[in-house]
Each structure stands twice: as structure tokens, then as C-alpha cells.
Amino acid sequence: MKCAGPIDVRDVDESCINIDPIQVGGRLTPEAMKAVIAYGDGYSVCDNCRKPFRLDYIKAPPVDAFHRDLAAFLHMDVARVVPGARRGFQAVADTYVQKGDPVLITALSHYTEVLAVEGCGGTLREVPKSREDLITPDAAAETIERVSKEFGRPPSLFFLDHVDYQFGNVHPVKEIIRVAHQHDIPVLLNGAYTVGIMEVDGKDLGADFVVGSGHKSMAAPAPSGVLATTTERAGDLFRTTQARTDLTGRTFGVKEVEMMGCTLMGVTLIGMMASFPRVLERVKHWDSEVEKSRRVVDSIRSIEGTRILSEEPRNHTLTRVDTIHSFDKVAQTHKKRGFFLSSALRARGIAGTIPGATKVWKFNTYGMTEKQADYVARAFREIAAENGLRVGNQLKTSDL
């Protein structure tokens, strides 16, 4: 079935249980789906934009209140919506990083943090990860000292991922931020995998900047996100334009330089806003999401030869597994080769794995119903057994 011309209807979430590592937290709520129907046209939130013209001043729909609510949600002072977390990284890097400045990221940082630093000419230095694939306060302290000595000054910014995209591990960010602040280094907390699915208290964590992704974890259309900061930092980060054009002498008043004026002016913003009440509620039920994640992980772990590469017990719904000695062994002789696994999952109505991946891969259980979690857990064991892999007694997370 087609939507229009050559564009297929996308019904993956209606016909399957989607376990795609990056998609599940961004699926729209019913409220967002409805708002998107009404606000699909271009500048749809701008019907009532009045002087001084700026997105966060619009009262109908209540975009102004939404900005205040976003800041309160993150326990920060000021927030702006941005076209994806990456644009939040870019705004902060552009404000605080001068050419040649050392900037800290970690061995598990997302590539967009690297690009944000590269874009403004900063010099990247990575905090190494531990054997357990965690970033530790000690590693941060050692790296800060080493880099400060190398450059003769401390790094001008530290990008720290609350939960990393590779393993879905939860890092001790509060302690790491404390270490960074001892050296007067501002910290940007990348909450792409936390803001909107878990409670994030930026003030308690001590973050100078909190960035979230609308399309990754806030049930919003792409590209959308949030950038929040403290009153102390807001003046620099959200500075307004001072430019005057030379021929016409035009000035642009309240437009914020790093936001390029207005940011999300239609369906992205309205989707974020419509989902927000449900997002506020759903973060309180993170424990039940983790429980379902552990249930599926328990099942996969019970398949002989399979290793869970993410930290255990799982504290997140995104998990990385190594099936080199289980599903990949099957792939060596299966007529569908490496495609047998995604194909067997798809035949059971489970989508979102990379076709052909049987070695190291990731999945995300966020947003499943109880029934769906049980179904997925059972499906992996069934596929393993059908392909001659031994499926042991289900070792539970609580037994670890």
C-alpha cells in the first residue's frame, strides 16, 4: 500500500513489535499523532505569532508555557526546543569552544558530539572507558589532568553521555560532573537516551547544559529536541543578535544567534508538545520498562553461546548482545546465511534488527506491553531451539 506516489505506507509498528535500538522512544503518543494530523502544514504553529516575533513567545498554541514546562521538567532554569540533540550540542560548542581549545568527550560519545566540536575547531580528547564499558569519575579526573597539562589550560567543555548509545549503560554522571566542576569545566549532559523516558534532574546532577532528543526519547517527530541550561549560562548560550546590516541598517532584535532565530515551527514542535503530558507520566514508570528489558535479556542470555555485552543487571532498555557463538554459528550453515535471524524474527512479527546481523547487535524493548515483552522473550528462545541451539534454564537477572 502506498501513501503517495512511490512512498510506501510505514506500518512497522502496527504490524510488528519494533525493537529498533533508536526508534522506540520516539514513537508518537496518540495525542501527538492527532496533533500532527492537524498541524502538518509548514509554519503551522505560527498562526498567532505576534511582535516581538519569536517562537518561545507564542501563546496559542501555548509554546511559551511549554518552554517553561520543559525547563521545569529537567530541573533547569531555561530551555529551548532544538532540531535534534545534535543542534543542541552545536549551539553549546559554538558558544564555549574557541579554535584550538581542548574539549572532552568520552570513548562512548555519540558522533554528533565529535562533529559539533570539529565544526568550531576544538581539539577532541577522550575519557577512556573501563573494562565494564563505563565512564568513571577517576578516568575523568585523570584525563582532565593529562589534557590540562598538555594544553596548559583545562578543557573548555565536557560532553558527557548520561546513557551511551553503544551499550545503553548508565554512567555515574553526577560524580563525573563534580570532578569536572572542580576544574571549572562546564558539562553538557547528553540525555538523548534518558530525557523523556527516565526522570532527569539536571540541577541535582549538576549539569550546566542538558540536551534531550525529541525523536529518540520524547515521543516526537524528527528532528526535535531540547536544550536546557542554568540562568548563569543562559545569557551566553541564548544571546540575541547584535548585528546591523551595512546597507539597509536592519537589526533583528530578540532573535537568538545560536537558535538561528526560531527552531521548530510546525509539526515537530506540536508533536513534542502533544506528547509532553504523557512523557511527564511515563518517566515515573521507568522501573517497569527496565523490568521488561531484563525479562527479554534473561531469555536471550539463556541461549547457549550468547553474551550480554551491556552492564548487568540491565538498567536500561537498550542492550547490546554478542551472538557470535550462537546465532552466528547457525548463520554459517543456514540457507539464508546471516539473514536467517531477522527473517525468523520478522516471520514472528518482530522488526527492527539489522538484516544480516548475527554477531554483535542491539535492541531496545522500550514501550512494549507486558504481553509483547513475553512474546519477544519467547520468540528468541524458540528461534534458537528451532535452529539447534541449546536453550538453558532461564537464568534470571536476579540470579546474577
The residue ranges that bind other proteins (CB under 8 A) are 13-17, 27, 30, 33-34, 37-38, 348-350, 369, 372, 375
- When the beta carbons of 333 and 369 are compared against other proteins, the nearer one is 369
CA distance 365 to 236: 39
How many Cβ atoms are within 10 Å of 333's Cβ, its own excluded?
10
CA distance 56 to 64: 5
Q: Are 81 and 224 in contact (CB under 8 A)?
A: yes
Angle (nearest 5°) at CA 98 between 232 and 209: 35
- When the beta carbons of 45 and 144 are compared against other proteins, the nearer one is 45
CA distance 144 to 127: 8
Nearest distance from C-beta of residue 15 to other proteins, angstroms: 6
For 75, 214, 229, 278, the CA distances from 72, given in Å and listed in that order, are: 5, 16, 11, 15
- When the beta carbons of 202 and 352 are compared against other proteins, the nearer one is 352
Nearest distance from C-beta of residue 375 to other proteins, angstroms: 8
- When the beta carbons of 10 and 131 are compared against other proteins, the nearer one is 10
**Burial of 53 (C-beta count, 10 Å sphere; 0-12/13-18/19+):** middle
CA distance 100 to 171: 28
- When the beta carbons of 38 and 395 are compared against other proteins, the nearer one is 38
- When the beta carbons of 33 and 324 are compared against other proteins, the nearer one is 33
Nearest distance from C-beta of residue 17 to other proteins, angstroms: 6
Nearest distance from C-beta of residue 351 to other proteins, angstroms: 9
For 214, 218, 265, 271, 322, the CA distances from 274, given in Å and listed in that order, are: 12, 10, 14, 5, 38
Nearest distance from C-beta of residue 340 to other proteins, angstroms: 19
Nearest distance from C-beta of residue 27 to other proteins, angstroms: 8
- When the beta carbons of 246 and 281 are compared against other proteins, the nearer one is 281
Is the peptide bond preceding residue 21 cis, with omega within 30 degrees of 0? no
Strand partners, 391: 303
Nearest distance from C-beta of residue 24 to other proteins, angstroms: 11
